[in-house]
Every structure is written in C-alpha cells, then in structure tokens.
C-alpha cells in the first residue's frame, strides 16, 4: 500500500503544492499579530510638551573691506589705517563663529594695496576670505 498520492512511478512529476507548511506559518504569524497589537495600542495617554529642537545658528556679520584707487582701506564704509585694520581683524578672528571678510578692490588700485590687505587678513587667522567683483559683459 503506497501513500505517495499516486506517485508510484519515479518518472512522474508531482503537480500539486503541499499547502500544509504554508498554512502553519500563516497561522503562527496571525497568532503573533493578535498578541502584539493590543500591547501596541494600549499605552498611557500623555500630553507631551512641544519643543523645537533645531539649533539656533548665529550668522556672523560679514566684514566688507574696500580698497579705493588711492589705496585707502575702508571697514564697512569707515576709513581706517593699516594698524587699526590689524587690530580689528584680530578682534574679529577671536569671535566664534568667525565673520567672513569680503574684499572689494577698485579696478584702478595698485595690486600691492590689495595684497597687503589680504596678508593682514591671513595673519589675523580669519579663515573665510572672499573677493567681491561685478560680473563682466
């Protein structure tokens, strides 16, 4: 007496799927979900306070250094000399976060004056230095 479902010959291909293991797995998953869902939904109701956790980023001021055609240096529209420039740059370099320095050089100024201003910025320890120009045609 054979219990193979009519598969007495080895050449025949079984064309039925055994559904019993699939049903067993599905029943186990159903029981797990039935047990865990009430645990997730039965929680203590608490009215939580609202808080904003975004960091407050303080944007440092931008220092505009201008060098006119005569080689005079301006700190945000105030004319200063080289010694006062170095003192102000050292003070700005000590701030946290450091301000950005933008240099505007007149196109008729001698290159030497702009380079001296750049060197003073570098000696002070300021890390962000940029040049401001107007777009050409």
Q: What is the pLDDT of residue 1?
A: 45
Is 35 a residue whose pLDDT tops 60? yes
| pTM of this prediction exceeds 0.95 | no
CATH code of the domain in which 115 resides: 3.30.420.270
Is residue 38 in some structural domain?
no
Residue with more model confidence, 1 or 47? 47
Is residue 110 in some structural domain?
yes
Number of independent structural domains in the chain: 1
Residue 70: domain span = 62-131
Is 60 a residue whose pLDDT tops 90? no
Task: Choose among 130, 65, 125, 55: nearest CA to 95.
Answer: 125
Is residue 40 in some structural domain?
no
Q: What is the pLDDT of residue 7?
A: 55
Backbone angles phi, psi at 112, to 5 degrees: -60, -40
Tens-digit pLDDT profile for residues 96-119: 888 999 999 988 988 899 999 999
Is residue 41 in some structural domain?
no
Is residue 115 in some structural domain?
yes
Neighbours of 133 (CB within 10 A): 9
């Amino acid at each position: 007496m054979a219990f193979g479902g009519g598969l007495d010959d080895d050449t025949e291909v079984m064309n039925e799927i055994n559904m019993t293991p699939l049903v067993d797995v599905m029943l186990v998953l159903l029981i797990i979900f039935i047990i865990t869902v009430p645990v997730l939904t039965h929680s203590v109701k608490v009215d939580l306070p609202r808080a904003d956790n975004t960091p407050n980023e303080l944007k440092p001021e931008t220092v505009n250094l201008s060098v006119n055609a005569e080689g005079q240096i301006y700190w945000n529209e105030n004319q200063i000399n080289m010694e006062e420039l170095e003192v102000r740059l050292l003070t700005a370099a000590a701030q946290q976060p450091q301000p950005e320095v933008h240099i505007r050089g007149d196109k008729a100024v001698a290159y030497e004056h702009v380079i001296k201003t750049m060197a003073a910025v570098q000696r002070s320890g300021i890390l962000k230095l940029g040049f401001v120009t107007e777009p050409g045609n």
